[in-house]
Structure 1
């Protein structure tokens, strides 16, 4: 945007969001529908507001396309994860992971264990999505087989995956937050330890407490034994199949991009279905396209394994594209900037600036439906304000991740929320109370800001930070990687 671009006032800029959220509540709560049409309604309203304030239709249309373009890396990942799930279920990879997991893990410690496992894997590969799409899928199967409620398992998987994603130097959002604010990457990660480690410890404590009521009784042991027997009857179970996810994780840790690593995992799962499970080529191809299909006579096992495939992700892809049409208009017509500037103007002190930043990130997640935008836009908007208040840039970079990266999972129409629904099979409203790390860390960050704990001030204007212009213009949101 330049100085000649029409400026949309706050009251009109916020109108599409208010109407969209209202339509969303009516559609989902009363009509029990999906979020797609309310998002389309929001896009139409935003386009009308922009047109009424002097934006030409071509600019509005280009804004829609730019929003969709920003989501394309996520769309490709979503599609490949769907194909990978179909390949790994058909190839017996998921069945083997669940089988051995049921032997090793106990119900009372399962939530703690799966959280730590997901955290370690996510730190290693820098990707919450890849972790949830592989380890998370198996974790859901193990937990449900033990009689643990699916939302509870999903919350533990999400907490672990996002802890690792947030703290990994390989993570896109971690590098993005550091780069946009001109903060050294490892200084940024060290500063996040203050809020993220206590969040993880609280989550683990709650999961341990919940686990004490999940100790397996005779009924649960019988269910676990039945599940293991069904898996043995319908799949070739082998520890060698566990090398497939290990190999994919190894590739990513060796800095192989996410797409080739997923392709490798898909190919190995496809070949396993043919040469290890004894399926035909036609069946293996069908599993990639439509997902794996099985009838064991056990509803729980059938529910776990009748899934995956390219087609299973179409709902997620369509919602992602529709959501980004709204996000593109809000971002490229200055409406989001107008909203954030209004929020900034209400922040009078350094103490209130970090809570304001976190709130802005959450609002951006809700309105633009993409966690990258929730980091990019507030970073640009708040950079100079942090300098004016004498706050070090790593305070901003931490707030961006605490408020942007972590809260994206709570928005059902955000790309992260729809991905989790498609992958783990649990909706945001259901798993939200159990994604403890994701809501505790923003709360801890706000408490620390209000008390001044771990808040670092600038000693002078040149202290380890770039100029305002460098921070403001440093990163183009279109330059995102695909390691989600």
Structure 2
């Protein structure tokens, strides 16, 4: 029966229909009703299942595809849980507060655009969330920048570039973990591979902001907002440069090639210990923070927004979205629909450069059609995994392409959840800040150029291919 199912070929026009149904439902749900993408993905799954049943697939096969998709997401889900624990522990332990405290003090009038971009990058690296950074530090930065006479689109662009640099490079970022987990790439190998496209883009952005900011060097800065935040942090946390040793230690462990889970576990324990022994929290509070997240009321809305987060509970939305998306992707893959869609694309994308470009463009198009950043990583991630394997391309090439095309480009789509969020937080339209969000458009450009030049493209060795095949065979045996 399995052999018969494998021989069933669903035509391209019908194979793409569930995606069109999902995209249409997504547009109405997310843009018009301001809902979550979960239900549209389930609707797409139902549409795919109906088409597969009509073409002769047995329900058991379709169901197995959904389970297989979820199984593929389990490593990412486990990391996401660890990320929630880390965020809670580091906020409770005063580590995040210390990083923000020292970061805010580097702002100077002549280097405001550079400074606010760097600060947003540092904060997002610490907490793994570009949205939280833009909704707090970004809002404060907009007020400070406008008080200096700097145009709002410039300030917004600098904030967005810094925030998304941190979002891509942070091991606590949900999109970074999704891209690594969905492609079967080691988290820190994925981050290291992104250095080649993200670091040059950030340097280009900072150079642009340096020259743009020079014309505002004589302006007077209203430091009231900064002083308020610094005072609130001093009143509610023990600020010490020694606390910075904890994230430094995690970075060192990563550099020593310690796996992600134990490296994060050490960071979680040290953050929890800091909460108890340095910040003076009780054992109960420190432990509950790991589950429920950190909670504080300082009277400063921006500080409260930034620090009331973390814990396992805070990650459940991302986890549920991952499960639902992978259910849709699993059914599409099991029934050969993804293969039919990719087959049409690969008729054009024959070389390594064109394949990576197709992946980047697919992620961007998914951002524009599905209106959700996570989907731009999850769906293309499953669509192209086999094509990359056939060309003996290491999975880190795929995971990087997904982030280069998906994570950073979401900000340019006004109806994408990221674009909508930025407008609500920074009060600047995507078409206005787009020219100044330098990192976000230089990353995919550099990635495509490097792909066609064959720079920093890593291939699988015969031994690695053999190991992957043995691992997949073992997984199939366990699944059966």
- How far apart are the structure 2 equivalents of 1:177 and 1:67? 12
Within 5 Å, which residues of 2 pair with 1:210-249? 220-249=222-251
- How far apart are the structure 1 equivalents of 2:113 and 2:269? 36
User: Given the superposition, is the C-alpha separation of residues 22 and 75 from structure 1 closer, same or farther in structure 2, using an over 3 Å criterion?
Assistant: same
Shift of 1:104: 3.0
- How far apart are the structure 2 equivalents of 1:288 and 1:351? 43
Match of 1:300 in 2: 302
Q: Does 1:359 align with 2:361?
A: yes
Does 360-369 or 402-411 show the bigger shift?
360-369
Paired positions, count: 432
Secondary structure of 2:291's aligned partner: helix
Shift of 1:137: 7.1
- How far apart are the structure 1 equivalents of 2:170 and 2:293? 29
Within 5 Å, which residues of 2 pair with 1:25-424? 25-106=27-108, 107-114=112-119, 133=128, 144-146=139-141, 147=144, 153-159=159-165, 162=168, 199-208=201-210, 220-346=222-348, 355-356=357-358, 358-360=360-362, 369=375, 371=377, 374=380, 377-378=383-384, 380-381=386-387, 400=398, 403-409=401-407, 410=409
- How far apart are the structure 2 equivalents of 1:293 and 1:276? 17
User: Given the superposition, is the C-alpha separation of residues 175 and 254 from structure 1 closer, same or farther in structure 2, using an over 3 Å criterion?
Assistant: farther
Task: String of CA shifts for 1:347-372, please: whole Å, max 9, x gaps.
Answer: 58999666445435656888894747
Match of 1:124 in 2: none
Does 431-440 or 93-102 show the bigger shift?
431-440
Task: String of CA shifts for 1:80-125, please: whole Å, max 9, x gaps.
Answer: 211211111111111111111122344332255358869xxxxxxx
**Any stretches of 5+ residues in structure 2 without a counterpart?**
146-154, 172-176, 476-480
- How far apart are the structure 1 equivalents of 2:193 and 2:268? 32
Match of 1:13 in 2: 15
Secondary structure of 2:298's aligned partner: coil
Does 279-288 or 339-348 show the bigger shift?
339-348
- How far apart are the structure 1 equivalents of 2:183 and 2:316? 30
Q: Report the RMSD for the aligned CA atoms in angstroms.
A: 4.9
- How far apart are the structure 2 equivalents of 1:80 and 1:175? 13
Shift of 1:327: 0.9
Shift of 1:238: 1.0
**Contact 1:17-1:42 within 8 A present in 2 as well:** yes
Match of 2:150 in 1: none
User: Given the superposition, is the C-alpha separation of residues 441 and 242 from structure 1 closer, same or farther in structure 2, using an over 3 Å criterion?
Assistant: closer
- How far apart are the structure 2 equivalents of 1:418 and 1:267? 34
Shift of 1:288: 1.4
- How far apart are the structure 2 equivalents of 1:406 and 1:153? 18
Normalising by structure 1, what TM-score? 0.71
Does 8-17 or 142-151 show the bigger shift?
142-151
User: Given the superposition, is the C-alpha separation of residues 45 and 176 from structure 1 closer, same or farther in structure 2, using an over 3 Å criterion?
Assistant: closer
- How far apart are the structure 2 equivalents of 1:349 and 1:283? 55
User: Given the superposition, is the C-alpha separation of residues 306 and 34 from structure 1 closer, same or farther in structure 2, using an over 3 Å criterion?
Assistant: same
Match of 1:125 in 2: none
**Contact 2:113-2:158 within 8 A present in 1 as well:** no
**Contact 1:87-1:273 within 8 A present in 2 as well:** yes
Shift of 1:73: 1.3
**Contact 1:358-1:402 within 8 A present in 2 as well:** no
